[in-house]
Structure 1
Amino acid sequence: MQMRAKDRDVSRRKLLIGCALGALTPCIADRTGLAEASDLENFLRLSAELTGRTRLPVDSARIYLQSLGLDRGALRSMDPLQDKDSDGLARRIVADWYSGQTVDSGRMICVDYTGALMWDAIGFAGPRGIPRDDGAGWALAPVVK
């Protein structure tokens, strides 16, 4: 059986539909990427509620979330502000953000020493080894009260 020339021709409509489906295939096939983004968004939302800070770095959030070792979608159902069982989780999240460190596989990991929230909370001190903006801070004697 031979195909007629008309059957072999691809219409513009079929070509555009094929291109559109081809472009959407990675989005449809990569459901885990969508779940990870959703978990990260939930973690950032929860972290903002717990720390009172809205502009938290996404790269640090990704590391903190991974170190918690939670199942996918677990944060969506948790509300540490209302749920007593999640109180330990809330404390861990706040401690990670304020210290700039986390525990992963039994090891302490420094995630963001200079960006830790404790430096803003303290107000009068900054990370050791990092000069102040004015440059003259090293020449000043400490204030003793």
Structure 2
Amino acid sequence: MSRATRSRPFSPTRRHLLVGGSAAALAAFAQWPGAASAAELDPEGFLALSERLTRKDDLSADIAASMLEAFRATGRVEDLSALLNGSDNQDLANEIVAAWYSGVSPDPDSNDVLTYTDALMWQAMSFTKPMGYCGGAMGYWAEPPAG
């Protein structure tokens, strides 16, 4: 004959409290379920990501803020947040680097130039300068460059 089981109300033990507290602390430490959301991506985070990708430590914070807004317009903020947190998205990383080198907005619906004279392409092409940008005193081009 089967024994009738009596149901008792749940009464937490010290073990339950320790396990629950440890799990809560671990979840908070790991920032679970997501390490970053689109709302957490700020210009400083984007600047740090850009400096890591371009291997330049002197990028402009103002240009980074403008570039982040242009990426927001493309709807890629979640992808940027994931990239900032270590995901492998080589296409997006290349888009960020290309935007810094060209100075052109990554938004295909925009014709904005985010920077011209501070675009990284001018550092890469040390033999030239931005068009319309003075290279020196009158006649500076007549002599070969120093060094």
TM-score (norm 2): 0.59
**8 Å contact from structure 1 (residues 97, 117) kept in 2:** yes
Query: In the aligned structure 2, how far is the partner of 1:134 from the partner of 1:46?
Result: 38
How far off its partner does 1:71 sit?
6.5
Return the match for 1:101 from 100, 104, 111. Answer: 104
Match of 1:46 in 2: 49
Larger strand percent: 1
Return the match for 1:77 from 69, 73, 82. Answer: 82
Identity %: 34
Q: Secondary structure at the match of 2:112?
A: strand
Question: Alignment RMSD, CA only?
Answer: 2.9
Render the CA deviation track for 1:104-136: whole Å, top value 9, x for unaligned: 361221111011111011111000011103543
The yes-or-no answer on 1:61 pairing with 2:64 is yes
Letter in 1 for 2:82: S
**8 Å contact from structure 2 (residues 41, 77) kept in 1:** no
Q: Secondary structure at the match of 2:105?
A: strand
Return the match for 2:91 from 74, 88, 91. Answer: 88
Render the CA deviation track for 1:19-41: whole Å, top value 9, x for unaligned: xxxxxxxxxxxxxxxx8785212
**8 Å contact from structure 2 (residues 44, 61) kept in 1:** no
**8 Å contact from structure 1 (residues 47, 93) kept in 2:** yes
The yes-or-no answer on 1:118 pairing with 2:125 is no
Larger helix percent: 1
How far off its partner does 1:100 sit?
1.1
Q: 1:55 to 1:106 in 2, by over 3 A?
A: same
Query: In the aligned structure 2, how far is the partner of 1:114 from the partner of 1:88?
Result: 25
The yes-or-no answer on 1:129 pairing with 2:136 is no
Query: In the aligned structure 2, how far is the partner of 1:121 from the partner of 1:53?
Result: 12
Structure 2 unmatched runs, 5+: 1-37
TM-score (norm 1): 0.59
Structure 1 unmatched runs, 5+: 1-34
Query: In the aligned structure 1, how far is the partner of 2:40 from the partner of 2:60?
Result: 14
**8 Å contact from structure 1 (residues 102, 108) kept in 2:** yes
Match of 1:140 in 2: 142
| Total equivalences in the alignment | 105
Whichever of the two has the greater Rg, that structure is 2
**8 Å contact from structure 1 (residues 98, 117) kept in 2:** yes
